[in-house]
Amino acid sequence: MSGSPALEISKGKPNGVGNVFTTKDIDGHDLPPSPAPSTPRNGRKYNLMTELVYTEGNDQYNASSVPIYQSATFKQPSASGGAQEYDYTRSGNPTRTHLERHLAKIMNANRALVVSSGMGCLDVITRLLRPGDEVVTGDDLYGGTNRLLKYLSTHGGIIVHHVDTTNPESVRDVINSKTTMVLLETPTNPLIKIVDIPTIASIAHQTNPSAVVAVDNTMLSPLLQNPLDLGADIVYESGTKYLSGHHDLMAGVIAVNEPALSERLYFTINASGCGLSPFDSWLLLRGVKTLGVRMEKQQANAQRIAEFLESHGFKVRYPGLKSHPQYDLHWSMARGAGAVLSFETGDINVSERIVESARLWAISVSFGCVNSLISMPCRMSHASIDEKTRRERQMPEDIIRLCVGIEDAEDLIDDLSRALVQAGAVNIAPDGFTALGSSQVVGESSESGAGSNAAPTPSE
């Protein structure tokens, strides 16, 4: 790639640190700092769907698929050290570098770093904190995030404020000169609440210019939202979810624009040894290429299912529905609604029966997979948040989370309809069914959802 006339490599340090390209292409377009070799040779910035699949290598055999450098060590030409880019895979590996450069491009970032899981990202990011530092974060957070923050507040001398981040004023109320980090998720998992990244980022930076605003973008992926463009300093994602798409690997990616910050994060990754393995880097690079087609289908299916449930009287949380209280805010930041939604039945036992009656929908934690999943967050993904805290944070114990895959939408709706009937979650009438306790008149449900509004007969 160094021979490309379109791009110049800035002088970098070993292991890809600082090896970013200048921002102008041959035509003078001001490109985001571009992480070749995954950028087309002409230096042009294409639409994201194109950039996702475009990678280029400098392998001596012109391999179309980036090789897996399954090697822990790299021989060196002399004993003087420091002359070559790689020496040891914990510090850097060509397959990992290739993935990082590709992800930096996709995430509109100067630099991306890949680690062994989404929680690995948060571990690396929170090592920026020092005892006495304060963190402001949400009251609806992924259970594992909550658990790590709790550990840090109990054992690491970090003060953590959980506030309702859907209201920027609650952030303003607690933020102060000791606030070194603001940690956000949007949409939140599992209550699908929306958080105003630009407003909160500006409150944080005004109050303490050195505060770092970190956003967990796992629920939407870079296809649908770019928090760095909205004022965040760090974005991270669990690569276990949409980025890879098949639930066959664990990974995490951290992306930043500020070189000094990226150096501090890289230091921890090298020092602690949590960089992603060559094989998982290769798998993740392969998965990222289909992110666009997967997400488009998953999101279209999720919209159908959300409308189906809502039309039958269920309380549904999904930012693709106009009834979402923060619909406008969501669409001011994001290009899509994603494929995770949740709904309530009003009864834990009914919810449990629905989950267990589903056949196509696997009972499983996680999301972003091509297969559709159903879960009860309070008992599964968020069980690490104790019951009292869940109550204080108004997490409905009966909430069901649907993580929609790429199957045929009619099949998914049929299976869900059958599960709802089998679980006794709906009132059945000759012309349709409605959620128990719903004020909706039977039969008035819209045609937008199920293949038919007729009450399905439980087939099992």
Ligand X SMILES: Cc1ncc(COP(=O)(O)O)c(C=O)c1O
Identify which range of 111-119, 129-137, 155-163, 172-180 contacts ligand X by CB under 6 A. 111-119
Stated length of the chain: 460
- Rounded (5°) CA angle 340-305-215: 15
Q: Report the amino acid identity of residue 71.
A: S
From the candidates 101, 105, 133, 142, give the one annotated as an active-site residue.
142
Q: What is the DSSP letter of 401?
A: E
When the beta carbons of 229 and 397 are compared against ligand LKTG3HHF, the nearer one is: 397
225 touching ligand X, by CB under 6 A:
no
Identify which range of 91-99, 191-199, 254-262, 359-367 contacts ligand LKTG3HHF by CB under 6 A. 359-367
381 touching ligand LKTG3HHF, by CB under 6 A:
yes
Spatial contact of 30 and 23, defined as CB atoms under 8 Å apart = yes
366 touching ligand LKTG3HHF, by CB under 6 A:
yes
Taking CB under 6 A as the rule, which mask of x and - marks residues 101-130 in contact with ligand LKTG3HHF? ------------------------------
Q: Which of 314, 380, 301 is nearest to 340 (CA)?
A: 301
Tokens linked to 98:
């290739």
Identify which range of 13-21, 63-71, 214-222, 418-426 contacts ligand X by CB under 6 A. 214-222
218 touching ligand X, by CB under 6 A:
yes
- Tell me the C-alpha to C-alpha distance, in Å, between residue 457 and each of 366, 418, 420, 430, 444: 30, 7, 11, 11, 19
Q: What share of the chain is helix, strand, coil (3-state, %, to 5)?
A: 35, 15, 50
Taking CB under 6 A as the criterion, the residue among 189, 225, 281, 298 binding ligand LKTG3HHF is 189
How many angstroms separate the most distant Cα atoms in the chain? Answer: 83
Spatial contact of 354 and 423, defined as CB atoms under 8 Å apart = yes
241 is catalytic: yes
Tokens linked to 263:
């150096």
Distance between CA 225 and CA 81 in Å, rounded?
Answer: 41
372 touching ligand X, by CB under 6 A:
no
Identify which range of 8-16, 55-63, 211-219, 403-411 contacts ligand X by CB under 6 A. 211-219
From the candidates 96, 241, 297, 353, give the one annotated as an active-site residue.
241
86 is catalytic: no
386 is catalytic: no
Q: How far is the CB of 102 from ligand X (least distance, A)?
A: 19
When the beta carbons of 305 and 373 are compared against ligand LKTG3HHF, the nearer one is: 373
Q: Which residue of this chain has its Cβ atom nearest to ligand LKTG3HHF in the complex?
A: 381
Distance between CA 392 and CA 223 in Å, rounded?
Answer: 34
Distance between CA 52 and CA 39 in Å, rounded?
Answer: 10
* 33 preceded by a cis bond (ω within 30 of 0): no
Tokens linked to 195:
């958080």
Distance between CA 159 and CA 154 in Å, rounded?
Answer: 9
Spatial contact of 286 and 320, defined as CB atoms under 8 Å apart = no
Residue 71 binds: one of ligand X, ligand LKTG3HHF, none (C-beta under 5 to 8 A by kind)? none
Scan residues 128-157 and list those touching ligand LKTG3HHF (CB under 6 A). Answer: 142, 144
Scan residues 384-413 and list those touching ligand LKTG3HHF (CB under 6 A). Answer: 384
Distance between CA 333 and CA 188 in Å, rounded?
Answer: 14
**What is the helix (H) or strand (E) element at residue 283, kind and residue range?**
helix 278-289
- Tell me the C-alpha to C-alpha distance, in Å, between residue 99 and each of 108, 272, 449: 14, 20, 39
90 is catalytic: yes
365 touching ligand LKTG3HHF, by CB under 6 A:
yes
When the beta carbons of 366 and 371 are compared against ligand LKTG3HHF, the nearer one is: 366
Q: Is 392 helix (H, G, I), strand (E, B) or coil?
A: helix
Residue 384 binds: one of ligand LKTG3HHF, ligand X, none (C-beta under 5 to 8 A by kind)? ligand LKTG3HHF
280 touching ligand X, by CB under 6 A:
no
Q: How far is the CB of 138 from ligand X (least distance, A)?
A: 11
User: Which sequence positions are flagged as catalytic?
Assistant: 90, 142, 216, 241
Q: What is the binding site for ligand LKTG3HHF (CB under 6 A)?
A: 142, 144, 189, 365-367, 381, 384
Interface ranges with ligand X (CB under 6 A): 117-119, 142, 144-145, 185, 189, 216, 218-219, 238, 240, 250, 252
